[in-house]
Amino acid sequence: MSVVRVLVVDDQVMIRSGIRALLETGTGVDVVGEAADGHRAVDMARALVPDVILMDLRMPVLDGVGAITRLRADAVTADIGILVLTTFDTDQDILAALQAGANGFLGKSADHEELLRAVERVAAGGSSLSAVATDTVVGHLTRTARQQRPREPVSPEDLRKAGSLTSREREITVLVTQGLNNDAIAERLFISPLTVKTHVNRAMSKMHVRDRAQLVVAALRAGLRED
């Protein structure tokens, strides 16, 4: 496996050093640079073109969202994977970062393995969302979909995928589109959270999606909703 080249962006020296130490304890990751603000991060990204940028949100000179916006607007840096790593995980922060073009959102409380997995997924062209970020995206997608009228026609392929769901998987998927997490769904249906998780995973497989946010998009596109 090729080495993932990472640029760490945070205004606190100790945090940058800590992240570097975590990333470089294993193989496969090379921290190629550090930046203390968004403006410097943009300049370094243009010069180094890393595979992944670990981006803080609250920084002087230029904040994380501003830096992400500039990176995505520049042909040299537009395709670099950007993983937001921050202590600020409000809905507004999460949506602003993702709408600006971030590929993932992770809290600084994440452990070593979770951080490495997220970096690897983003480097491979995927996305990585913390549980809080996923719930925020699901809620946002659900609210947006309910406001959209008229609905788009459902394609035969969407109908085929939705038709492969069992009645229980369909029921739980609809509850997911309403923004309920596994614990809330379990309480609603009088089953265990583990059972809910199993059904959600099976629904994701049948709908050909990788995560909960994508399941919401696919389910709403297939007309699986209750108004």
Q: To the nearest 10°, report the CA torsion of 188, 177, 147, 132.
A: 100
Q: What is the CATH number of domain 4-129?
A: 3.40.50.2300
Q: What is the CATH number of domain 135-221?
A: 1.10.10.10
pLDDT tens by residue, 164-195 = 999 999 999 988 887 778 888 999 999 999 99
Which pLDDT score is estimated for 65?
A: 93
Does the predicted TM-score (pTM) go above 0.75?
no
Portion of the chain with pLDDT greater than 90, in percent: 45
Which pLDDT score is estimated for 150?
A: 46
pLDDT tens by residue, 113-122 = 888 888 988 8
Q: How many CB atoms lie within 10 A of CB 116?
A: 18
**What's the mean pLDDT when you consider all of the chain?**
85
**Cis peptide leading into residue 60 (ω within 30°):** no
- Residue ranges covered by each domain of the chain: 4-129, 135-221
Cα–Cα distance measured from residue 66 to residue 43, given in angstroms and rounded to the nearest whole number: 13
Q: Facing residues of 107 across strands?
A: 86
Mean pLDDT confidence for 79-94: 84
Cα–Cα distance measured from residue 28 to residue 154, given in angstroms and rounded to the nearest whole number: 43
Which pLDDT score is estimated for 146?
A: 57
**Is residue 69 over pLDDT 50?**
yes
Cα–Cα distance measured from residue 223 to residue 117, given in angstroms and rounded to the nearest whole number: 33
